[in-house]
Chain A
Amino acid sequence: MVCVAWMIVFTGSDLTCRRGERLVFTDLAFDARPGDALMLRGRNGAGKSSLLRLMAGLSEPLAGTICWENENIREDMPAHRARMQYLGHQDAVKPVLTVRDNLRLWASLRDVDNVDAAIDQALDALGILHLANSSGRFLSSGQKRRTALARILLGESELWLLDEPTVGLDRESCADLARLVDDFRAKGGIVVYSTHVDLEIAAPRILNLDEFAIPMFDWLRDEIGEDADAQHPDASTTPASTTRDGTSPSRRKKIHSPSTDFEGIA
């Protein structure tokens, strides 16, 4: 019984992400069971937000798949969207609407039965019930963030994707958030989050995105190596060209000294 309930449901494999004209990470894989918390680590630009956006289905990976219970989320986006709650960098709080009216839309988009009760409950969980009827423009940035967090409590969900949820939150609210995450996990929810401050969540699994970064010289050779390929049919003996043969070179091959790479191009 337990085995069935705790099997891996959310997986990603061979993920490559491109932002603009730059590859952010490659060959990334992750998996999560119900109740897991997956913490994304990495330097700026390592692709934490990009990965969360891929998981949310906002953007598509250049290569690789993200699956829920072995089905690619692309196959049934409405189902994936229904099971997932996403918190981005922005709070999406309208200044001219009250906190309650702000949340009402999100509740009605998710088929919540008793909208007002659900909103009250969510606001109470984040300790901002007293702000329910104040307009968005009078909220501090921390209060706006909490309003945004209240949004993810509306309706049933199985997956939380939180991009820097602690930005603007004080210590007390961080503790509230940690408690909410724990409750959600206890019910079998999966949480994927990125944060710079330590959110006190029990036993998170850590995914370090720096490990999947494209080594600069390898990636650079891909860029300018096109000409080397096109114009030097006999250049296949050089180190640079041999590593290009495979469509997905193993990680080991990506470590080159700069001089080797450039000899290959020259």
Chain B
Amino acid sequence: MHRFAKPSVFLKLASAIMPWAIGITVVTLAVGLYLALVASPADYQQGDTVRIMYIHVPAAWMGLFCYVGMAICGAMSLIWKHPLADIAARATAPIGATFTALCLITGSLWGEPMWGTWWVWDARLTSMLILLFLYLGYMALVNAFDDSERGSKAGSALALVGVINVPIVKFSVDWWNTLHQPASVARMGGPSIDPSMLWPLFLIAIGFTGYYVIVLIVRVRLELNERRIRALQLGGVGQSVADQHHLAVPAKQAGAGE
């Protein structure tokens, strides 16, 4: 970091948001999971298997949401060159990839009792799989450069290309699916959701979003600290200076703890 883009504003904001994010996440996930797993009725066709959907669907939303978020951060970093946007995009990718993977795993778990197989080339699942590939490509790209900033910028450009491509992929996979597989199999989600099932879905989605915010803040903080360490090393700080800094740290922490 340099004196023209101080992350201190972000750090202050993050510290203010953090307790709220944790609180909302814990409460919504607890209530949502209770409603989903205990209070809501079992489906007349699917039985208790339907409860997997309460994780699966919000995870799918989050997978898409994170990708769009990543692309927005990417655009911000390319247009306004804000270093925090780079870091945020980078930090979002693994979270989004995890939600996408969670969506695929729960989909597969749901598919076993419903379809009798762990994997079906269902249009939605296939699209999510491709989304996971896009995440993996992004993560591989940003980590493939010796200069991490160069990696972030390349990643931002890729995220923008990807976000244009996502609807095209979605459309073509839907087309491909209807062509090769008549829509006879039971689908997850779909328009036939009972309103009583929507509440836990939304609560869990909010909980997931809160979780995303928490992890994002932690990861961005981590990256900022790593950059500082790298900058110190790059500055050719001698041993004596490092010692002084070492001595300075406890005093600083004491001051911060008060």
Residues of A whose CB lies within 8 Å of any CB of B are: 16, 18, 20-23, 62-63, 216, 219-220, 222-224, 226-232, 244, 247, 258-259, 262, 265-266
Contacts and interface: CB of A to CB of B under 8 A. Distances in A.
Contact of A62 (B2, B232, B237): B2
Contacts of B232: 220, 223-224
Interface string B235-250: 1110001001101100
Interface of B: 1-4, 6-8, 11-12, 147, 149, 227-228, 230-232, 234-237, 241, 244-245, 247-248, 251-252, 255-256
Contact of A258 (B1, B244, B247, B251): B244
A232 B244 contact: no
Given A62-B4, A224-B245, A216 B236 contact: yes
Nearest to B146: A20
- Summarize B's interface: helix, strand, loop or mixed: helix
A258 to B, nearest CB: 7
A18 B147 CA distance: 13
Contact of A222 (B2, B247, B248): B2
B8 A224 contact: no
Given A223-B228, A231-B255, A232-B255, A265 B234 contact: no
B7 A226 contact: yes
A249 to B, nearest CB: 9
Contacts of A262: 244-245, 248
Report, nearest first, the 5 A-B pairs whose CB atoms are least far apart. A266-B248, A266-B251, A231-B256, A230-B8, A222-B3
A21 B8 contact: no
A21 B244 contact: no
Contact of A230 (B11, B241, B251): B11
Nearest to B12: A230
Nearest to A63: B4
Nearest to B254: A266
Contacts of A230: 8, 11-12
Contacts of B227: 21
Contacts of A224: 228, 232, 245
A223 B12 CA distance: 17
Contacts of A223: 1, 228, 231-232, 235
Contacts of B11: 226, 230
